[in-house]
């Protein structure tokens, strides 16, 4: 029986990346409490959340009768000087986040988990992003749109905020939310390949 790949995320960016890489998949959006634990490191946080999303989607997929599901969960955070920046609560919060990132280098940490019956594996990718100095007027103009509101750190590297990025060290797709190289390795490990490799 061929495994059914299930993406445990409502993120359109993760779905786009997975689709562009040539994978066929279904989308599940299980609810997971993303609140950090008091003593949890940023890396431990993304590892725990990516695994929790995959596990919750596994239960949802099996409840719907999907045979041999392979679940893909991921989580991304932005870290500046050891502080985790989540999604902004509103435009004012987004402006404050971006002004804090202005002219500085921050980390984007993404964890990806692949779970299937009898196995689970997680990989963590850390990238470093350096922003140019951002004038207040530029940040305010950017935050008038919807782009920053549902993004960790209040920006989308693949969107208009690409003009903020002076330097990127690491994985572009991981900063978007899904490290494709590591994801493909994990999926290959459980026998899931993009359609173009099956031709």
Largest pairwise CA distance in the chain: 56
Spans of all domains in the chain: 4-197
Predicted pLDDT at 3: 78
Q: SS3 breakdown of the chain: % helix, strand, coil, rounded to 5?
A: 40, 25, 35
pLDDT confidence bin for 58, thresholds 50/70/90:
confident
Radius of gyration of the chain (CA): 17
Q: Interior CA angle at 160 toward 134 and 148, to 5°?
A: 80
Element (H, E) at 44: helix 42-63
Query: Over the stretch 25-53, which tens digit does the pLDDT of each residue have?
Result: 999 877 888 888 888 999 999 999 999 99
Check residues 28 and 182 and name the one with the higher pLDDT: 182
Domain at 4-197: CATH architecture: Alpha-Beta Complex (3.90)
Helix (H, G, I), strand (E, B) or coil at 31: coil
For the chain, the first-to-last Cα distance in angstroms comes to 18
pLDDT confidence bin for 2, thresholds 50/70/90:
low
Among residues 194, 175, 188, which one has the least CA distance to residue 78? Answer: 175
Checking if the pLDDT of 167 tops 70, the result is yes
Predicted pLDDT at 199: 57
Query: Counting Cβ atoms within 10 Å, is residue 138 exposed (0-12), middle (13-18) or buried (19+)?
Result: middle
Query: Over the stretch 135-163, which tens digit does the pLDDT of each residue have?
Result: 999 999 999 999 999 899 999 999 999 99
Verify whether residue 75 is a known catalytic residue.
yes
User: Of the residues 24, 75, 93, 150, which is catalytic?
Assistant: 75
What would the two tokens of residue 55 be? 């596990």
Using left for φ > 0, alpha for ψ between -120 and 50, and beta otherwise, residue 190 falls in alpha
pLDDT confidence bin for 66, thresholds 50/70/90:
confident
């Amino acid at each position: 029986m061929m495994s059914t790949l299930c993406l445990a995320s409502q993120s359109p960016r993760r779905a786009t990346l997975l689709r562009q890489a040539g994978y066929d998949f279904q989308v599940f959006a299980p609810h997971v409490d993303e609140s950090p634990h008091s003593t949890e490191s940023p890396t431990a946080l993304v590892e725990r959340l990516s695994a929790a999303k995959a596990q919750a989607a596994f239960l949802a997929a099996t409840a719907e009768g999907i045979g041999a599901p392979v679940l893909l969960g991921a989580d991304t955070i932005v870290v500046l000087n050891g502080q985790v920046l989540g999604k902004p609560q509103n435009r004012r919060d987004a402006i404050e986040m971006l002004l804090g990132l202005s002219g500085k280098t921050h980390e984007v940490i993404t964890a990806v988990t692949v779970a299937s019956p009898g196995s689970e594996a997680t990989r963590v990718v850390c990238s470093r992003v350096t922003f140019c100095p951002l004038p207040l007027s530029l940040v305010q103009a950017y935050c008038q749109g919807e782009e920053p509101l549902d993004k960790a750190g209040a920006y989308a590297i693949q969107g208009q905020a690409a003009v903020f990025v002076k330097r990127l060290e690491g994985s572009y797709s991981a900063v978007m939310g899904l490290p494709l190289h590591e994801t493909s390795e994990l999926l290959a490990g459980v026998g899931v390949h993009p359609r173009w490799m099956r031709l």
